[in-house]
Amino acid sequence: MQEYWEIYMKNLEGKPASILFNAGISMDMEEIRYTYPTIAFIKVRLKKPKENGLLSKEEERDILSLEDKLEAALIKFRIGKYVGRVISDGYVTFLYYLQFTYNWQDFLEFALDKHQTYEISAGHQEDSEWNYYKNLLFPTDREWQIIQNHKVCDLLQSKGDRLEHPRSIKHKIFFINSTEKQKGEFLKMVEDEGFIKIKTIKSEEGIEGVVISRDDNILHYNIDEITLRLIELSEEYGAGYDGWEVGVEN
């Protein structure tokens, strides 16, 4: 079973939420969801959250210590899989998929023994479709794009890139379900927004696409706005956005 973790921000019921989730487990979800059919949660009320309801630096060590203790208990009791964590509105919620529930209470008592100063609630319910994982933890296409945007920006910044410097950014779009009319309308639309067509391309499956370019900076908020706009336009014209590339600016 593959395991790697991603973290991102989203809006949850009108409030900012920090989502940490096991992205790798999604590759095995269809194979294991019947073995782990029960969603379980441990919800911890923060003592000193930030004004926006997220975790403060002051309390981070205690919450990470609790997370480590829960992970150790999970291994000890072999109760299930840790799939994610949600921080929002002054609470941290740890989420698990369980194989068995008969030792859930033993797991809780062992893991939470040294954290009784926190207000904690816990419970579980059947979820063999893994709806909590798919609909709460797993990112939408747009959220995935933001995750990838920030990874690229952070990598460039680590190489000394000055993200605020405008430079040519190339974007790939494939016309997955586009008619010829839609292709023309899409290209006219992006041209009106300052993009130029660099070249025509084809995917490995033979789907026609284009590379378009425009000079922009790649500060996080700006590249997010640009890529989300191109995703919106692509979907409107039966196409699919396939990412961007840029050179380093020192």
Q: What are phi and psi of 91, to 5 degrees?
A: -130, 150
pLDDT value, residue 1? 58
Q: Do domains 5-137 and 141-245 have the same CATH topology?
A: yes
CA–CA distances in Å: residue 135 to residues 21, 82, 132 = 12, 16, 5
Q: Are 18 and 46 in contact (CB under 8 A)?
A: no
Q: 141-245 adopts what CATH topology?
A: Alpha-Beta Plaits (3.30.70)
pTM for the complete prediction? 0.85
Q: Give tens-digit pLDDT for 81-133.
A: 999 999 999 999 999 999 999 999 999 999 998 777 899 999 999 999 999 99
Give the mean model confidence (pLDDT) for residues 19-23: 96
CATH number at 5-137: 3.30.70
Q: Are 235 and 146 in contact (CB under 8 A)?
A: no
Q: Give tens-digit pLDDT for 127-177.
A: 999 999 999 999 999 999 999 999 999 999 999 999 999 999 999 999 999
How is the chain split into domains, by residue range? 5-137, 141-245
CA atoms of 44 and 85, how far apart (whole Å) = 11
CA–CA distances in Å: residue 126 to residues 35, 67, 143 = 12, 23, 27
Strand partners, 97: 39, 81
Give the mean model confidence (pLDDT) for residues 28-39: 94
Q: Give tens-digit pLDDT for 37-88.
A: 999 999 999 999 999 999 999 999 999 999 999 999 999 999 999 999 999 9
